[in-house]
Amino acid sequence: MTATMVGPYTMLGITGGTSKETYLLDVSKDGRPVPRTTGATKDPHITGTAVTLPDGSALVIGGNSSGSETYGTPVYGTERWSPETGQWTSMANTPRQRQYHSVAALLPDGRVWSAGTSINGSNANEYNGAYFTPPYLYKQDGSGELAPRPQITNAPKTASWGERMTFTSPQAASIRKATLVRLSATTHQYDFSGAFVPAEVSVNGDQVGVDVPSNGNTVPAGSYMVFLIDSAGVPSKAAVVRIDPAADSTPRSTATASSQNGSQYPAWKGYDGDTSTLGVVTKSQAEPWWQIDFGRSRQVGSITIHNRTDTTTNRQRLRSAWVFASDDPFTSTSVSATRSQPGVTAKQLPSTVGSTVNVSLGRSARYVRIQIPRTDSLNLKEVVPTFSATPAPQLGLTKTSQTDSQVVVKVANTGTASGTIQSVTLPGAGWAQTAGPNAPFTVAAGRGRRR
């Protein structure tokens, strides 16, 4: 058997047996994975290796068909699974057998490398490798020529959860989506480092913004290949970016709700980066709510609420809901009391809501709550915040007195950010430091020169 991640919480499992069965396994269900069948492979692939591709499809390479866990009748066929249809399509054969102890991995250039086979006491060892070029790298006109590819000319080295990564591409206008694929660590038919995360993109000139999901469970820390994919489905060569919580010391976020209508609708489903599920559902109750605690105050530009659209009733449950934002914990579960709580921003959704609702906040907030002002069940699929850098205080200096030997200066924050200057350190001999917030400090004038 082999398996590979084809979504933030979705694993594609290939039994490899003569039944040729494959499964999609949803691992988001609080420790209770939920399998469902998908299309059968053309050939058995016992000891084959699965690899996820930048477009969310997957390959299975090699293996054997005679039932052995190690070595048997080799399968040379390569097959590709489509996430849209759930079906497998035969691809080019591997030039050499790939069975037990073989490996396969996605490369930053979008190709797949496969190598090896090692069977103790056998002459079947393969000390070689091969490259597979997927169809998305070719023109779709049947010419067999490689397709032109979008380029990444500048990329960040690190990013953290909830941040927007900015990439420079001369073909930015053609970019339609981005995917993050974690660098491989493959052995014994499994990529133990695997993760695949689709990401939202925005384009401004030659700049492509790629939003890293805010939830560390959706995008585990590590090094990722980031592919920009154009309107023809052709991926760029990847930029490798390390998703590192140390790049922004943001604590893990915690989602809570007023209630939970069944084990399949926990509060965290509203903040897991997955808009394909039904998300959060509370019980029918007076003024139900859902909220997220970011772990510390962050500069929140806006939030986008992904609404349920499976029925008209479910879509309209968010009508006239309130969105609250605060740096301090909410002190009440009452809508009217929360609206009047000092330091709380309150914004109301319209009486008719669609599949998504964007709410501009433009403030520092640790807590964001969505609450219905009536007796009902609260439904929402996902909440996606847009974070921006916290504005820094600006240093303002005012000279209060001066002699031949010293200058006394008043320091204050003259910027738009809140807060006071706690201390100032300036390089060079004779510079002093403030004794307290906004306190004057003394600067040596230095060798007869007045400053």
Q: What is the pLDDT of residues 301-317, one digit of tens each?
A: 999 999 998 898 988 99
Whether residue 236 has pLDDT greater than 70: yes
Which pLDDT score is estimated for 241? 94
Percent of the chain with pLDDT over 70: 82
Instruction: Give the integer Cα–Cα distance in Å for 418 and 411.
Output: 15
Whether residue 132 has pLDDT greater than 60: yes
- Residue 180 tokens read as 């993050």
Instruction: Give the integer Cα–Cα distance in Å for 332 and 364.
Output: 20
- DSSP annotation of 286: E
Is 2-137 assigned to CATH 2.120.10.80? yes
- Domain spans of the chain, in order of start: 2-137, 158-247, 254-388, 395-444
Give the torsion sign (CA, 274, 54, 61, 119).
negative
What is the dotted CATH code of the domain comprising 254-388? Answer: 2.60.120.260
Secondary element (H or E) of residue 371: strand 356-371
What is the dotted CATH code of the domain comprising 158-247? Answer: 2.60.40.10
- Residue 72 tokens read as 């048997």
- How many other CB atoms are found less than 10 A from the CB of residue 135? 15
Q: In this predicted model, what pLDDT tens digit does every residue of 364-421 receive, in sequence order?
A: 999 999 999 999 999 999 999 998 755 545 556 566 666 655 556 565 555 544 444 4
Q: What CA–CA distances, in Å, run from 335 to 340, 346, 382?
A: 9, 10, 21
Instruction: Give the integer Cα–Cα distance in Å for 260 and 263.
Output: 7
Strand partners, 191: 186
Q: Do domains 2-137 and 158-247 have the same CATH topology?
A: no
pLDDT band at 297 (very low <50, low <70, confident <90, very high): confident
Q: What is the mean pLDDT of residues 139-149?
A: 93
Place of tokens 């609260």: 378
Q: What is the mean pLDDT of residues 414-442?
A: 45
Give the torsion sign (CA, 9, 10, 11, 17).
positive
- Residue 356 tokens read as 């998504």
